Amino acid sequence: MKKLAIQGGDPIRTKPFPTTKDSSGRCLGEEEITLLKEVINSGSLNRNNGNKVKQFEKEFSRKMNGEYVVACSSGTAALHTAVAAINVSPGDEIITSPITDMGTIIAILRQNAIPIFADTHPRSGNLDPESLETKITKRTKAVIPVHLFGQPCNMEPIIDIAKENNFYIIEDCAQAYLAEYEGKKVGTIGNIGCFSLQQSKQITTGDGGIIITKKKELADRSRLFTDKCYPRQSGDKGIPFLGLNYRMTELQGAVALGQLKKIENIVSRRRKTANLLSNMLKEIKGISPMQKAENTKSSYWAYSFMIDEDELGVKTEKFIKGLNAEGIPFRVGYRGGPIRGLERAPLILEWEVLKKKRT
């Protein structure tokens, strides 16, 4: 065996891996440029005067089995809109995962609701249905399961619990385009699904978001909320409730249309690469890919695994340095730690449990 790079040997990889921060890891090209030119030449950059965002909503609806679709300015805006759509009252509680982006929590807090953190499964990082059941109170309005890294949550028990206790399910699908649970695309399983088009996602418009739902009343309320509650369809001059300007621009809509045509190919390549990596890693003691729920298909926003230091025979910190020295991008944890800026005791506890399992 040749000397490892961390020991002074030559690295396995000298050419940088593709990155989502620039064109090396993004499927952007002539399709998007052509659509953007059409928008510029039209002079209509606002969605209410153009047709690209509306066209994107129709195309995404077809992709998602005919759900109502509302495009908006970001994934965070999509989640905030979903919480507004179910009409929470101040002090209502929404249960979610502590391992997520801050956007999930902003959506709850900005509607004066209270985030309640259930535990996550130590082998998947996704919401644990058993813990969810223990967090329910008379003020519970909804649950937001987060399909972490593109891997679907175990939705069947979550659905049963929500039906029994009469609260909404808002799926956070920011990382999970075309991921499936028991043959159903995530986002179509609960009451509302929310997607992100941020730079690092499977498809991107730089920033952007999508809300989908089976219920027309939730779609109507979502469309109002993202457009400052101007009732453009009815002609009514009144403002029915407080909304925000979360409109997607025609420029974003043009790029989104171009990206949507590529989504199957993008996800297919990610699955192929992840399966290859799983097969290569399965013979290595001390490395365990994150556990999947049964009958699921991940769309692999990221590839994650756990390390057992005793079995692997190396400390986590040294393992990271060794891989980085070989030219392989790798880090431990999600965003470096638990969500900050909130009451952190349950978050830190959960993070420490996961950290122990990982190491």
pLDDT band at residue 2 using 50, 70 and 90 as cut-offs: confident
Assigned token pair, 291: 């556990």
pLDDT (tens digit per residue) in 325-337: 999 988 887 655 5
**What pLDDT shows up at residue 226?**
97
pLDDT band at 347 (very low <50, low <70, confident <90, very high): very low
CA 212 – CA 223 distance, rounded (Å): 11
Helix, strand, coil % in the chain, rounded to nearest 5: 40, 15, 45
Which residues share a beta bridge with 114? Answer: 93
For the chain, which domains are there?
30-263 (3.40.640.10), 264-358 (3.90.1150.10)
The string of DSSP letters for 95-136 reads EE-SSS-HHHHHHHHTTT-EEEEPPB-TTT-SB-HHHHHHT-
* Residue 305 vs residue 344, higher pLDDT: 305
Look at the pTM and tell me if it is higher than 0.85.
yes
In the predicted model, is pLDDT for residue 349 greater than 50?
A: no
The predicted-structure confidence for 142-183, as pLDDT tens digits, reads as follows 999 999 999 999 999 999 999 999 999 999 999 999 999 999
Q: At what angle do helices 52-63 and 30-42 cross, to 10 degrees?
A: 140
Q: Is the pLDDT of residue 359 over 70?
A: no
- Digit-coded pLDDT (tens) for 265-307: 999 999 999 999 999 998 899 998 888 888 999 999 999 888 8
Q: What is the pLDDT of residues 184-242, one digit of tens each?
A: 999 999 999 999 999 999 999 999 999 999 999 999 999 999 999 988 776 666 778 89
What is the C-alpha separation between 283 and 28, in angstroms, rounded? 36
Cβ atoms within 10 Å of 317's Cβ, excluding its own: 11
Chain position carrying tokens 């982006």: 101
- Does position 49 have pLDDT exceeding 80, yes or no? yes
pLDDT above 70 covers a percentage of the chain that reads: 91
Q: What is the pLDDT of residue 357?
A: 43
* C-alpha span between 269 and 263 (Å, rounded): 10
Cα 351–chain centre separation? 19
- Please report which confidence band the pLDDT of residue 53 belongs to, taking 50, 70 and 90 as the band edges: very high
Dihedral, 347, 353, 357, 359 alpha carbons, nearest 10: 80
Helix or strand or coil: residue 172? strand
Token code pair at residue 334: 């999600």
Angle, alpha carbons 227-231-233 (nearest 5°):
110
Whether the pLDDT of residue 85 is over 90: the answer is: yes
> Is residue 358 pLDDT above 80, yes or no?
no
Condensed to tens digits (0 to 9), the pLDDT of residues 88-104 reads 999 999 999 999 999 99
Instruction: Please tell me the distance from the alpha carbon of residue 196 to that of residue 147, in angstroms, as a whole number.
Output: 12
pLDDT score recorded for residue 136: 98
Which pLDDT does position 123 carry in this prediction? 86
Average pLDDT, the chain: 90
pLDDT at 351 over 70: no
